[in-house]
Structures are given as structure tokens and as C-alpha cells.
């Protein structure tokens, strides 16, 4: 098994070499004539006002926090899921093993689902919705006119 992970290292080294090759080749081939205009930040043709590293919406941060909690849940679930259906263990314990591990994990998942429900109820998962305004304008042209035209030329 150790040798297999050695091959993974070989794979990573290979990927690095290939990336270096691509970027190095591009560096040799391409022109390089920078000037001040080219090096400006692109902001649809205007000069950039201030830096971009400003504070942004706090919701992204909250989402990241909730994510970390659930990712840890996943880390615990991966080993559990592998031994859950283990035929040998089930036979040795007369079927008790499956029900025991399932009940154990249900408690775990239940507590975490409670966390999700809490975040949901507190509105941490809600995002701003744009207002959808209905246009009050009423056209004087009846809509069946268009339908007739569509029918005529279809």
C-alpha cells in the first residue's frame, strides 16, 4: 500500500512538472511589453476607485461557519459508513451491530439536523430576494392580435 501512495506522489510531481512546462513555454513564446494603461485594473473602462479588498456581506461568513460544522459531520460519517454494513460484525453480534450503529448515528445526525433547523429558523440561510414589481402599464393592443398573427404565420 505504501508503494501506491508513492505513485500518488509521482502523480503530483508529474502534474507540477506539466504545469511548469505549460507556463514556461507560454512565457517563452508570448510578447511582453507592459505599460501603465495595460496594467490598470479593469473596471468597465473607468479608473478604479479605491482598492477592492473591502468588507463584504457577512452572510458569506456565516455560511462558511455552518459549512465547517457540517463538514466535520461528514468526516465522522465516512468511517461509520464503511463499517456500517460489515457482514462479519453483523453475524458475530446476531444482527445487533447494524441496529446499534444505525441508532448511534441517528442520534448524531438528529443533533446536527437540529442545528440546521436552528440556522434555518434564525434566517441565516435566507438571502435577499429582489423585489419583483408587476408593470402597471396596460397596452391598448389586445393580446389576441398577437396570437392571430402567430397563427397566421406559423
Q: Does 33 bind other proteins (CB under 8 A)?
A: yes
Q: Does 114 bind other proteins (CB under 8 A)?
A: no
Question: Measured from the CB of residue 135, what is the shortest distance to other proteins in angstroms?
Answer: 17
DSSP string, 8-74: HHHHHHHHHHHHHHHHHHHHHHS-----TTTTSPPSTTSPP-S-S-----HHHHHHHHHHHHHHHHH
Question: Measured from the CB of residue 148, what is the shortest distance to other proteins in angstroms?
Answer: 21
Which of 42, 139, 140, 142 touches other proteins by CB under 8 A?
42
Inter-CA distances, 84 with 49, 92, 113, 123, Å? 57, 14, 20, 35
Q: Which three cell numbers, joined as nine digits, stand for 63? A: 455560511
- Site of interaction with other proteins (CB under 8 A): 1, 4-5, 7-8, 10-12, 14-16, 18-19, 22-23, 25-27, 29-34, 36, 38-44, 48, 51-53, 56, 60, 63-64, 67, 70-71, 74, 77-78, 81-86, 98-99, 102, 105-106, 109, 113, 116, 120, 125-130
Amino acid at each position: 500500500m505504501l508503494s501506491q501512495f508513492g505513485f500518488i506522489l509521482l502523480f503530483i510531481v508529474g502534474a507540477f512538472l506539466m504545469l511548469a512546462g505549460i507556463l514556461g513555454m507560454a512565457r517563452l513564446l508570448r510578447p511582453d511589453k507592459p505599460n501603465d494603461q495595460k496594467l490598470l485594473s479593469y473596471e468597465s473602462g473607468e479608473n478604479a476607485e479605491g482598492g477592492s479588498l473591502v468588507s463584504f456581506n457577512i452572510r458569506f461568513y456565516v455560511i462558511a461557519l455552518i459549512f465547517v460544522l457540517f463538514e466535520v459531520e461528514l468526516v465522522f460519517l465516512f468511517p461509520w459508513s464503511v463499517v456500517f454494513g460489515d457482514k462479519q460484525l453483523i453475524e458475530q453480534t446476531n444482527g445487533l451491530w447494524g441496529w446499534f450503529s444505525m441508532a448511534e448515528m441517528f442520534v448524531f445526525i438528529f443533533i446536527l439536523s437540529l442545528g440546521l433547523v436552528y440556522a434555518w429558523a434564525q434566517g441565516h440561510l435566507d438571502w435577499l430576494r429582489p423585489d419583483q414589481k408587476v408593470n402597471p402599464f396596460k397596452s391598448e393592443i389586445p393580446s389576441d392580435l398577437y396570437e392571430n398573427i402567430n397563427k397566421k404565420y406559423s
